[in-house]
Amino acid sequence: MADTMTAKQRHECMSRIHSNNTGPEITLRYSLWHHGFRYRVNDKRLPGTPDIVLSKYRTAIFIHGCFWHGHKGCKFYIVPKTNTGFWTAKITRNQERDQEVWRQLEAKGWSVIIVWQCQLKKANLEETIRRVEAEILQNGKRYQAAKEERKDSRLAYQQEQKTRKERELALKEELKRH
């Protein structure tokens, strides 16, 4: 896509993207809070410092600037005509880092939701909030189910150990008698 932004516009656009407290992001957070979702913001304890972390649902949300993270097919992802190689390399590095963070979080059992900045534009905000909340609930269900499964297999293991011990004791008693 062609670059139509002036240097000044680009500077403004980028500094906005770097700020974590843009209006739409706050609207998303308020909406989550209002609907009973509890979260932490910019949690440094998790890989990639996710923007929003919902421990109960084991879900990490990242709000990605369309330019910096290279939102494919998005009109806000326009590689500048000058220094194209520099920008492309920079954005590719960000994307690789994003994928690595995603991989690390999933390895720890976290679900990741990506919200692109363009999805927080007024016209899309309602729909995005609905989508995000539905995904959080899905993730929560999956997390609970996995927890139950682990609990079940732990109980089954404990039961097995107990039965084995009982059998050993019975055998010892049996041997004593002979």
> If binding means CB under 5 A, how many residues of this protein chain bind Zn ion?
6
- Specify the stretch interacting with Zn ion by CB under 5 A; choose among 32-40, 59-67, 142-150, 160-168: 59-67
- Residue 63, interface with Zn ion (CB under 5 A)? no
- Identify the bridge partners of residue 114 per DSSP, sorted by sequence position: 62
User: Looking at 74, 91, 114, 125, which residue binds Zn ion (CB under 5 A)?
Assistant: 74
Tokens linked to 162 = 């107990």
DSSP 51: S
Q: Quick check: 29 binds Zn ion (CB under 5 A)?
A: no
Give the other-Cβ count within 10 Å of 140's Cβ.
17
Residue 119 burial (10 A CB sphere; 0-12, 13-18, 19+): buried
- The closest alpha carbon to 20, from 66, 63, 53, 83, belongs to 63
Looking at 6-14, 69-77, 150-158, 166-174, which segment touches Zn ion (CB under 5 A)? 69-77
Separation of alpha carbons 132 and 147, rounded Å: 22
Out of 54, 66, 113, 129, the only residue in the binding site for Zn ion (CB under 5 A) is 66
71 binds Zn ion (CB under 5 A): yes
For the segment 113-142, give every residue that binds Zn ion (CB under 5 A): 116, 118
Select 53 or 66, whichever has its Cβ closest to Zn ion: 66
Which residues contact Zn ion (rule: CB under 5 A)? Answer: 66, 71, 74, 76, 116, 118
